[in-house]
């Protein structure tokens, strides 16, 4: 094999690396630090393969053409000088891609460049020391012993890159991992082949191929950038933030949510949702570079601040808040936008990407003003996220449990029935109360499953015969109003109860008054339909809502449950007493039975005895307790 083959190897490397370069520049992937390092590696391979071709042409002419020597020597030196830089640059590239570069101290950076400078100094001294190579008297290229140092240094950088990869394995997505491992394998393969057979110039060819692999998998970020707005997308945010979290990098995130984005569509008459990005993009780019801006939803942007000392999240939040207090000029119009701005510090205040997306996707009400939320305020948003998980877990793993709280006749304080109240026992969050998880379950559409579970448990309990045995008339089951309005609701409820074959009149459904049902006609239809099937009905929490009295009392309830706040208010003021007394009188005149909730003391009980109330419920008698405890309780009452 002769120089022709050498030339072919170098030419192939040259063509591949130039092609990668052309692609990289035409697709404008040049502005990130990572891109710059990549281009740097490409330039090295392009120039090296060019030197290689010159050497392959020049060497056979050395004995005949005098002027060939300087050209060949210049090519050799350029080859060594540049090639020595390839592994260090690759090491830097891996540290940027893995995110560890942001964590390196200045000293670490200086230290890691020392071996590189040693090899460069060796090349510079080669004309005098001939420590790397020389041309012997027969114009033969001869390698010196010390050349091995260059290989050792290259191997050292490779090893350091492998270590980096090892430590940041979890921070890199599968595609990037694959590309970097591919790079290792191909390059090492090329070096080994060339080492075994000096005639096969495999090294550069392998490097060019490996760089092409990197381009296809790491540098091409088409799937990470929004084609319309040019900002990074959700996927990119997830990948990068995961990287920061795993590497425990100190960065601040600022999440900007425009709460009245629909105004843009109204003002411009355009249905294009990207207009918001168009309006704010220049301003955002004036704060941080484009590579640190992500657009996760049409109205949500996240800015990543890598250098807290230079610019921190709170400062940026204030800047943004200030800017959003002034109108935005767009197509000759002034548009005033409201925003909710949230800042968090990584890794302390945000420990996983799931929470990140709860923050990013949380629904913010339009408060007609711009608000800033700092990390600590986010706790409730993040808790909400955990709560959603807990609800799903509870449904999967039997975490829900029904508690019972007894109700009594005022007359003789005899047991009347019980209210079924759901609890959630979560392995992570502990025991959770319905006040917190029911509204969330309603929003995420899981309330129907919870209510079904409670109804089934109650049916099972009724079917056991125990409630009847102790003289209980019925068990109260809470219903979510939104549920009741769904088509097929009545059939669904009936099918569950029929499964257990229990008497429908022993189930008393409660619907809360405070939820303003917009569709009273439909609700009224559902209530009377369920009653036709034999169920009883109670209006819950009377006195907490501001619903239309006429509408609410047009519903066919058997019982009205007066909320504890009315009872407690009556103890405190004269006005409270008038309200409670007259509410009871009014409901009594309408011919509904009355239950008062929240009876905690003997005094309250005595006060109620003066009024025409039918039933009582409260901690004075018992808190809600698990089924077995409840059975014990009613057994004792009987004795
Ligand atoms: P609610 O229907 O008004 O239930 C009564 C709440 O008042 C219960 O809280 C009960 O523990 C509490 N309570 C009873 N007596 C007293 C008292 O003397 N003093 C005080 N301070 N509190 C008393 P809980 O169990 O936390 O339930 C809260 C709410 O969650 C319920 O209010 C109900 O709206 C909802 N909920 C509970 N279980 C279910 C369910 O299975 N399905 C649906 N859709 N909602 C439920
Ligand atoms: Ca209730
Ligand atoms: Ca209630």
pLDDT for 80-135, tens place per residue? 999 999 999 999 998 888 877 777 788 888 999 999 999 999 999 999 999 999 99
CA nearest ligand 1 atom 3, residue: 541
Which segment of 216-230, 479-493, 516-530, 531-545 scores lowest on mean pLDDT? 216-230
The answer, yes or no, to whether residue 489 has pLDDT greater than 90, is yes
Asked whether the predicted pLDDT for residue 532 surpasses 80, the reply is: yes
For residues 205-213, average pLDDT: 90
Q: Pick the atom of ligand 1 nearest to 563's CA.
A: 3
Cα–Cα distance, 356 to 349 (Å, whole number): 10
Residue 366 has pLDDT above 70, yes or no: no
Ligand 1 contact via 513 beta carbon (within 6 Å): no
Q: Residue 546: what pLDDT? A: 62
Ligand 1 pocket test: which of 401, 402, 421, 509 has the largest number of ligand atoms within 8 Å of its C-beta? 421
d(CA 583, CA 476) in angstroms, rounded, equals 22
**Claim: this prediction has a pTM higher than 0.85:** no
Q: How confident is the model at residue 521 (pLDDT cuts 50, 70, 90)?
A: confident
Reduced to 3 states (helix: H, G, I; strand: E, B; else coil), residue 482 is helix
Burial of 376 (0-12, 13-18, 19+ CB in 10 A): exposed
**Is residue 639 very low, low, confident or very high in pLDDT (cuts 50, 70, 90)?**
low
- pLDDT class for 245, splitting at 50, 70, 90? confident
| CB distance 563 to ligand 1 below 6 Å | no
Query: How close is the Cα of 252 to the center of ligand 1, in Å?
Result: 41
Alpha-carbon distance of 413 to 42, in angstroms, equals 88
Q: Is the shortest distance between the CB of 44 and ligand 1 below 6 Å?
A: no
- Residue owning the nearest CA to atom 43 of ligand 1: 478
Q: List, in sequence order, every residue forming a beta bridge with 333; answer none if it has no partner.
A: 330
What pLDDT sits at residue 199?
78
Q: What are phi and psi of 134, to 5 degrees?
A: -160, 165
Q: What is the pLDDT of residue 604?
A: 95
Q: What is the mean pLDDT of the chain?
A: 89
Q: What is the pLDDT of residue 517?
A: 60
For the stretch 302-348, pLDDT in tens is 999 988 889 999 999 999 999 999 999 888 888 899 888 989 998 88
Spatial neighbors of 166 by CB under 8 A, at least 6 apart, are: none
| Nearest-angstrom CA–CA distance, 110 and 151 | 21
Supply the angle between the helices 33-58 and 68-97 in degrees, to the nearest 10: 160
In the Cβ-directed half-sphere of 315, how many Cα atoms lie within 13 Å?
A: 11
435 lines ligand 1 (CB under 6 A): yes
Query: Above 90 in pLDDT, residue 477?
Result: yes
Average pLDDT over residues 391-400: 94
Q: Is 624 in the pocket of ligand 1 (CB under 6 A)?
A: yes
pLDDT tens digit sequence for 21-43: 998 888 777 767 888 899 999 99
Proximal ligand: closest to the CA of 438: 1
Q: What is the pLDDT of residue 85?
A: 95
- Per-range mean pLDDT, top range of 210-214, 355-359, 548-552: 210-214
pLDDT at 514: 55
Which of 137-141, 354-358, 387-391, 488-492 is predicted with the least confidence, judged by mean pLDDT?
A: 354-358
CATH 3.20.20.450 segments of the chain: 384-638
State the CATH class of domain 384-638: alpha beta
Of 4-18, 67-81, 100-114, 513-527, least confident by mean pLDDT is 513-527
pLDDT for 549 equals 75
Distance from Cα 469 to the centre of ligand 1, integer Å: 25
Average pLDDT of the residues in 437-460: 92
- Burial category of 260 from C-beta neighbours within 10 Å (exposed 0-12, middle 13-18, buried 19 and up): middle
Structure confidence at residue 123 (pLDDT):
95
pLDDT at residue 384 is higher than 80: no
Of 359, 360, 348, 367, the closest CA to residue 383 belongs to: 359
406 lines ligand 1 (CB under 6 A): no
Q: Quick one: which atom of ligand 1 is closest to the CA of 561? A: 3
Residue 2 has pLDDT above 90, yes or no: no
Higher pLDDT, 424 or 549: 424
Three-state SS for 335?
strand
Is residue 356 predicted with pLDDT exceeding 90?
Answer: no
What is the predicted pLDDT for the residue at 516?
A: 53
Q: Measured from the CA of 597, which atom of ligand 1 is nearest?
A: 15
Answer whether 597 contacts ligand 1 (Cβ < 6 A): yes
Give me the mean pLDDT over the 149-153 stretch: 92
Q: Determine the pLDDT at residue 547.
A: 63
Q: Which two tokens stand for residue 388?
A: 């959603």
Q: Looking at residues 468-472, what average pLDDT do you find?
A: 95
Is 60 exceeded by the pLDDT of residue 515? no
pLDDT, position 619: 96
Beta bridge partners of 511: 539
Query: Which distant-in-sequence residues (6+ apart) come within 8 Å of 629 by Cβ?
Result: none
d(CA 434, ligand 3 centre) in Å: 12
Q: How confident is the model at residue 375 (pLDDT cuts 50, 70, 90)?
A: low
CA dihedral 270→275→276→280, nearest 10 degrees, is: -140
**How far does residue 509's CA lie from ligand 3's centre (Å)?**
12
**Residues 407, 418: contact at Cβ < 8 Å?**
yes
Portions of the chain given CATH number 1.20.1070.10: 3-219
Residue 152's pLDDT band (cuts 50, 70, 90) = very high
How many whole angstroms separate alpha carbon 36 and alpha carbon 219?
11
User: So what's the pLDDT on residue 616?
Assistant: 97
Element (H, E) at 372: strand 371-373
**What pLDDT digit, counting tens, does each position of 589-625 carry?**
999 999 999 999 999 999 999 998 999 999 999 999 9
Most confident of 30-44, 180-194, 492-506: 492-506
Residue with tokens 């006195």: 543
Statement: residue 483 has pLDDT above 80: yes
Residue 513 pLDDT greater than 80, yes or no: no
Establish whether residue 426 lines the binding site of ligand 1, counting it when its CB lies within 6 angstroms of any ligand atom: no
Instruction: Taking residues 586-591, report their average pLDDT.
Output: 92
Helices (H), 103-201: 106-129, 147-167, 174-196
pLDDT number for residue 229:
77
Q: Kindly give the distance from the C-alpha atom of residue 367 to the centroid of ligand 1, in angstroms, as a whole number.
A: 30
Query: What are the residue ranges of CATH 3.30.70.270 in the chain?
Result: 234-373
CATH superfamily of 234-373: Reverse transcriptase/Diguanylate cyclase domain (3.30.70.270)
543 lines ligand 1 (CB under 6 A): no
Q: How far is the CA of 404 from the centre of ligand 1 (A)?
A: 10
Q: Which of 10-24, 139-153, 225-239 is the least confident region?
A: 225-239
Position of tokens 């006060």? 607
Q: Tell me which of 1.10.287.110, 3.40.47.10, 1.20.1070.10, 2.40.50.100 is the CATH number of domain 3-219.
A: 1.20.1070.10
Run of H or E including 235:
helix 234-246
The per-residue pLDDT for 220 is 73
């Amino acid at each position: 094999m002769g120089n022709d083959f050498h030339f072919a190897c170098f030419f192939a490397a040259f063509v591949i690396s130039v092609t990668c370069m052309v692609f990289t520049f035409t697709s404008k992937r040049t502005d990130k630090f990572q891109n710059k390092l990549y281009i740097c590696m490409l330039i090295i391979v392009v120039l090296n393969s060019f030197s290689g071709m010159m050497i392959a042409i020049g060497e056979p002419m050395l004995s005949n053409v005098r002027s060939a020597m300087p050209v060949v020597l210049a090519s050799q030196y350029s080859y060594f000088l540049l090639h020595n830089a390839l592994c260090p640059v690759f090491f830097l590239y891996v540290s940027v891609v893995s995110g560890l570069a942001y964590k390196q101290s200045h000293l670490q950076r200086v230290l890691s460049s020392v071996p590189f400078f040693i090899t460069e100094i060796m090349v510079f001294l080669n004309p005098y020391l001939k420590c790397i190579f020389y041309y012997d008297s027969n114009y033969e290229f001869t390698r010196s012993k010390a050349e091995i140092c260059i290989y050792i240094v290259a191997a050292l950088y490779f090893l350091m890159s492998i270590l980096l990869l090892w430590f940041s394995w979890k921070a890199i997505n599968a595609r990037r991992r694959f590309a970097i491992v591919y790079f290792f394998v191909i390059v090492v393969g090329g070096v080994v082949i060339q080492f075994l057979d000096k005639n096969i110039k495999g090294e550069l060819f392998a490097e060019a191929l490996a760089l092409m692999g990197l381009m296809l998998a790491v540098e091409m970020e088409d799937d990470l950038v929004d084609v319309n707005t040019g900002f990074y997308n959700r996927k990119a945010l997830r990948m990068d933030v995961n990287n920061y979290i795993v590497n425990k990098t100190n960065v601040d995130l600022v999440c900007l949510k425009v709460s009245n984005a629909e105004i843009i569509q109204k003002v411009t008459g355009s249905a294009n949702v990207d207009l918001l990005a168009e309006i704010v993009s220049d301003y955002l780019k004036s704060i941080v570079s484009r590579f640190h801006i992500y657009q996760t939803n049409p109205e949500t942007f996240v800015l990543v601040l890598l250098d807290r000392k230079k610019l921190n999240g709170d400062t940026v939040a204030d800047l943004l808040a200030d800017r959003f207090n002034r109108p935005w000029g767009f197509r000759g119009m002034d548009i005033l936008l409201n925003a909710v701005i949230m800042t968090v510090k990584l890794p302390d205040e945000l420990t996983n990407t799931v929470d990140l997306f709860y923050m990013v996707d949380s629904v913010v009400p339009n408060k007609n003003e711009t608000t800033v939320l700092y990390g600590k305020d986010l706790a409730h948003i993040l808790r909400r996220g955990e709560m959603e998980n807990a609800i799903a877990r509870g449904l999967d793993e039997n975490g829900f449990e029904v508690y019972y709280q007894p109700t009594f006749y005022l007359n003789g304080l005899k047991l009347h029935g019980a209210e079924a109240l759901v609890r959630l026992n979560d392995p992570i969050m502990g025991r959770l109360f319905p006040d917190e998880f029911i509204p969330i379950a309603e929003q995420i559409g899981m309330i129907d499953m919870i209510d079904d579970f409670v109804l089934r448990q109650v049916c099972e309990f009724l079917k056991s015969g125990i409630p009847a045995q102790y003289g209980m008339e019925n068990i109260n089951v809470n219903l979510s109003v939104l549920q009741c309005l769904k088509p097929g609701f009545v059939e669904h409820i009936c099918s569950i109860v029929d499964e257990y074959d229990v008497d429908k009149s022993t189930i008393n459904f409660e619907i809360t008054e405070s939820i303003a049902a917009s569709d009273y006609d439909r609700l009224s239809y559902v209530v009377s339909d369920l009653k036709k099937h034999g169920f009883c009905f109670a209006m819950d929490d009377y006195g907490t809502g501001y619903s239309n009295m006429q509408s609410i009392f047009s519903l066919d309830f058997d019982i009205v449950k007066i909320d504890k706040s009315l009872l407690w208010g009556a103890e405190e003021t004269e006005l409270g007493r008038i309200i409670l007394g007259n509410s009871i009188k009014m409901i009594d005149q309408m011919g509904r039975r009355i239950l008062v909730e929240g009876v905690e003391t003997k005094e309250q009980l005595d006060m109620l005895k003066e009024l025409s109330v039918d039933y009582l419920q409260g901690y004075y008698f018992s808190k809600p307790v698990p089924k077995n405890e409840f059975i014990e309780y009613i057994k004792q009452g009987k004795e």
